[in-house]
């Protein structure tokens, strides 16, 4: 799986958009970009994933650059409950496990 690079930490004010970047310059053509988050002492929670096109669901939006070498997860209106570690993972859509990096620790402040 391609390696990803994320900033170790970010802050965001409650109610504002949180934009979490991820670099994956070695991504291959059949690899998806997955985003998960982990709230303290819980299992990871799936957020969104995409291949080429931008994606949106009830939790977030995923913006993937045209060359697919980077992406941004957008939480449109961050709440205090969005404080968590966010993991960007690149993997083929197959039966393999996901390999977690260090992620970005997002702190949403009042």
- Give yes or no for residue 52 binding another protein (CB under 8 A): no
**Interface with another protein in residues 56-95 (CB under 8 A):** 87, 93-95
Q: Which residues contact 14 (CB under 8 A, 6 or more apart)?
A: 78, 79, 80, 108, 109, 110
Reduce the DSSP state of residue 74 to 3 states and report it.
strand
Name which of residues 22 to 51 contact another protein (CB under 8 A): 32, 34, 36, 38, 41-46, 49
Q: How many whole angstroms separate alpha carbon 65 and alpha carbon 86?
A: 19
Residues that bind another protein (CB under 8 A): 32, 34, 36, 38, 41-46, 49, 87, 93-95, 97-103
């Amino acid at each position: 799986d391609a390696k990803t690079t994320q900033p170790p930490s970010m802050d965001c004010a409650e109610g504002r958009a949180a934009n979490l970047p991820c670099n994956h310059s070695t991504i291959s053509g059949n690899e998806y970009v997955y985003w998960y988050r982990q709230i303290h002492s819980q299992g990871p929670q799936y957020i969104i994933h995409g291949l080429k096109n931008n994606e949106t669901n009830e939790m977030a939006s995923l913006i993937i650059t045209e060359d697919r070498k980077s992406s941004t997860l957008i939480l449109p209106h961050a709440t205090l409950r969005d404080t968590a570690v966010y993991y960007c993972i690149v993997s083929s859509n197959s039966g393999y496990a996901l390999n977690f990096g260090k992620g970005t620790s997002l702190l949403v402040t009042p």
